[in-house]
Structure 1
């Protein structure tokens, strides 16, 4: 008996593992196809998942609501926090706060009252559950659409900063509404107090765990593999630690991730930084891909569970709510951007007035995605008595999926054309000058160190003198580019061709390594070491401005 049970469990594990591996393979293939077609991969995966779900024989995939937040949210939030500039986040804290908190609460409230008035037997508490689910835009969707487009840095910084905080505020609204629906009790002042308590304590717990991990990274003999493993453990420690005490795991993960990211130069070696970055990019890409394709794959099952609500009625509700969420965001961004300039002299003196075109793009970049899906799937199947089905759950999920689809397809596909039509360009001229200035400072410091510490070697040894001459050329080139940037001097014009030649030389070296492999004279370890050197050299050349 025990053997048969074990075998059944083993078969179930193998079946589930095969589904997961198949999903990962499909996500990778579809992403390559989306790049070929030049369509943002979240949009392409959602549509592809929907089409795949109608193929006969495709297994139905369902996720346990309790596992959705735990599996997907911590690493995605942590990675977003890790790659967010604290300097930019703090610089744009006012617009980020107005979008991530003010707009989320405003959107959730508007959706709650609209759905309550429009949908039969849809209570206000259900409306707030739905509003909490669909109120936060998704940064992955927006940044993947904007990737490669020349837009002002302010737009990207605001969208990325907003995504860090709006997830927490929307989930708190969602949980307060869910608790109200489950208990039947709602006290406004208590809900507001709980909002601030859950937020503040979540941040405190996240920072406390981050400080402990900082000490481990800083003072314990870790390796690059251990450092990378700890970065994957960190978001789950922060999230689960805060959730255990019923505080915001989202804010715990975000605050801890921001702290460790800010301190990463102190605690990680170059090996740890490179390895962890490559591993994280791969894992987060796969997690995002799975979530977006699951949106499409699960829609047919949700349609079957609509019950007394017809598909056409449900689609009508969802489309109206989608349009309202888009309009609300556009109506919010303009007053929240320009009123501070009108009302505050300090803001007028310290901040340039952003053009309306960039404000509109921030407003139009409100695509919904991963967090909305996770929140929707996390709606419990039953009420607290475990016998009564959660009211209108399938309709809430259906509306959530349609809002994600509607905003991704409509806003995501039109965004590049709107940017071109509005003639929005990158304001990266100052950034290029900063890049040149930083390179100048680094080269000057290196040259100064060589002259003061290795002066005799520079005079007597050819290798030292050649390196000194190289840094002197770098300093001369940087100075010329800074002085003659406006006139496009000949000295600045030769650099692209010079860099192209260096990349070609790397390619020649790779071909020669291939010949050495075929000769089978030198050890594989030695050849692999040289190949890694070429990888680093090519990465440096291709990433240079």
Structure 2
């Protein structure tokens, strides 16, 4: 099928999934996979083959960069030790355990090939994990740990994959080479990512000094940044994925000086749209590929294949649960636990961290990149079975881990981030106090009665925010009720303005350009007026 028609069909599938998600209990990622599987039965879509290298290049850099960009850097540093235990220690354990167990279960699968399978399924997927958990009321620290882990374990998983494929092709394995290659790939990727983020920020800053701070240009440069980091890292034979993650983490909080509010707003909207579309394409393409991957193995009985897949999923979960529980208690004994409880690790939080282990696009791309032939032109041993088990793992983790998460969260009744909400309220109160002080100083310099009245009205608004955020509960509720009533009045007035504007356009009293200009202003005012009571 031509690329243009295929792209339009994929975008249509994303739109269909985005509409259906409001009437189904399925999270959007799982629903999009289902839509993709259903679309694979459409003539012309059943033979879609995605080049894994192209897949990684087009989709993964901007998605991982956006996810790393919004990761709270201060909180990430505070949870770095447990994240590294999951992203490094658990990956190594998974590769080794899966290798030996699957080699024992399937004697026809060589040990090096079994290690390759373990490396493919070991990392949780940042794209799938973030998309699955972003709308769930998980505690902030659990979301942070799970998302940070899934961003970092891609590097360790891909390093293990490359070494396992090399061992399967040559029959040679060296622990010294493993350590050296990991340091080279990971360290080089981090350096390249930080360098490219710094270079991109300096370029944007220089353009602003040259009065070239156009919001569209500034946003375009941020979109190009992850691609540049990825391509440069891959050209230097280091981890492109880790370079993108490092660039995103380093960009977090590194604001470009002189950037206008329009540029920031434009960047947020563009990245929101880009992330939505690319995430959707990843899961729809995943669904399109799954049917072919699941039907590629015909030398094994269906029941045997189902048994192998279930054993692999169960093994992954046992390893993860055991590792999380053991390491959590070890961290608590060492005094740097993450459970949030002074009496010891919280079993509910540990269970949520253990269960949020979705596999997705990285597993898909890695499985498809297993070479078809090795040295001397011989086929890669059990390649179709490896690809099948990787695809089955994606399906089972999306179904068995992703689907029960909302029910599990409600059942465990774990808090959903009251600390971060308190921090936000405190910050809002502080900036309102600073604004009130600035208005008070300016008020003493005003002589015109109208200007003075406006200054006092503005000061009253900020004083009202402080009462809402820090006042007595009864006064805060009364203030919130007043704010709600005033908002309704403003929205009613804006609605009347918009209705009259469209009447003028329908009668040809104004042209399309005038309609767009005025309606844009009305939209901005409506957005400001629609801010929730909680945010003052």
Q: Given the two structures, how large is their TM-score scaled by the length of structure 1?
A: 0.89
**Offset at residue 161 of structure 1 (A):** 1.3
Give 1:70's match in structure 2, choosing from 42, 48, 57. 57
**Offset at residue 194 of structure 1 (A):** 1.2
Give 1:509's match in structure 2, choosing from 475, 497, 501. 497
**Offset at residue 448 of structure 1 (A):** 3.0
- Is residue 49–residue 295 contact of structure 1 (8 Å, CA) maintained in 2? yes
Hey, what does 1:264 align to over in structure 2? 255
Hey, what does 1:16 align to over in structure 2? 3
Whether 1:374 aligns to 2:365 is: yes
**Offset at residue 480 of structure 1 (A):** 4.9
Whether 1:491 aligns to 2:482 is: no
Hey, what does 1:287 align to over in structure 2? 278
**Offset at residue 120 of structure 1 (A):** 2.8
CA distance in 2, matches of 1:475, 1:270: 25
Whether 1:313 aligns to 2:300 is: no
CA distance in 1, matches of 2:150, 2:339: 28
Give 1:333's match in structure 2, choosing from 314, 324, 328. 324
**Offset at residue 474 of structure 1 (A):** 2.3
Report Cα offsets for 1:160-205 as digits up to 9, x if no partner: 2112211122111111212222333211112112111211111111
Whether 1:478 aligns to 2:466 is: yes
Tell me: CA distance 1:507–1:105, structure 2 relative to 1, closer, same or farther (3 Å): farther
CA distance in 2, matches of 1:382, 1:268: 52
**Offset at residue 126 of structure 1 (A):** 1.2
**Offset at residue 22 of structure 1 (A):** 0.8
| Larger mean Cα displacement after TM superposition, 132-141 or 498-507 | 498-507
Ranges in structure 2 where 5+ consecutive residues have no aligned partner: none
Whether 1:393 aligns to 2:383 is: yes
Hey, what does 1:163 align to over in structure 2? 150
**Offset at residue 509 of structure 1 (A):** 3.3
Secondary structure of the equivalent of 1:424? coil
Ranges in structure 1 where 5+ consecutive residues have no aligned partner: 1-11
- Is residue 98–residue 312 contact of structure 2 (8 Å, CA) maintained in 1? yes
Report Cα offsets for 1:510-541 as digits up to 9, x if no partner: 32332332343345444433322333333344
User: Within 5 A, what are the aligned runs for 1:11-160?
Assistant: 15-55=2-42, 58-160=45-147
Tell me: CA distance 1:149–1:260, structure 2 relative to 1, closer, same or farther (3 Å): closer
Hey, what does 1:439 align to over in structure 2? 428
CA distance in 1, matches of 2:355, 2:529: 36
CA distance in 1, matches of 2:239, 2:406: 35
CA distance in 2, matches of 1:326, 1:460: 71
Hey, what does 1:233 align to over in structure 2? 224
**Offset at residue 130 of structure 1 (A):** 1.1
Whether 1:407 aligns to 2:394 is: no
- Is residue 367–residue 412 contact of structure 1 (8 Å, CA) maintained in 2? yes
Report Cα offsets for 1:266-322 as digits up to 9, x if no partner: 364322222222222222222222222222222332344324233332222111101
Tell me: CA distance 1:332–1:538, structure 2 relative to 1, closer, same or farther (3 Å): farther
CA distance in 1, matches of 2:514, 2:406: 47
Whether 1:195 aligns to 2:173 is: no
Hey, what does 2:525 align to over in structure 1? 537
Whether 1:358 aligns to 2:349 is: yes
CA distance in 1, matches of 2:191, 2:68: 16
CA distance in 1, matches of 2:401, 2:197: 37
**Offset at residue 119 of structure 1 (A):** 1.3
Secondary structure of the equivalent of 1:137? coil
**Offset at residue 440 of structure 1 (A):** 2.8
CA distance in 2, matches of 1:384, 1:311: 31
CA distance in 2, matches of 1:286, 1:537: 27
**Offset at residue 86 of structure 1 (A):** 0.8
Secondary structure of the equivalent of 1:213? helix
| Larger mean Cα displacement after TM superposition, 186-195 or 30-39 | 30-39
Hey, what does 2:236 align to over in structure 1? 245
- Is residue 82–residue 258 contact of structure 1 (8 Å, CA) maintained in 2? yes
Tell me: CA distance 1:303–1:426, structure 2 relative to 1, closer, same or farther (3 Å): closer
Hey, what does 1:173 align to over in structure 2? 160
Tell me: CA distance 1:210–1:349, structure 2 relative to 1, closer, same or farther (3 Å): closer
CA distance in 2, matches of 1:267, 1:76: 26
Tell me: CA distance 1:266–1:350, structure 2 relative to 1, closer, same or farther (3 Å): farther
Provide the aligned length of Structure 1 versus Structure 2. Answer: 528
Give 1:417's match in structure 2, choosing from 391, 403, 407. 407
Report Cα offsets for 1:445-479 as digits up to 9, x if no partner: 3333344356443x415256324422333224423
Report Cα offsets for 1:334-382 as digits up to 9, x if no partner: 22223222233x6699975553212211111111112111211222232
| Larger mean Cα displacement after TM superposition, 375-384 or 443-452 | 443-452
**Offset at residue 253 of structure 1 (A):** 0.8
CA distance in 2, matches of 1:305, 1:131: 20
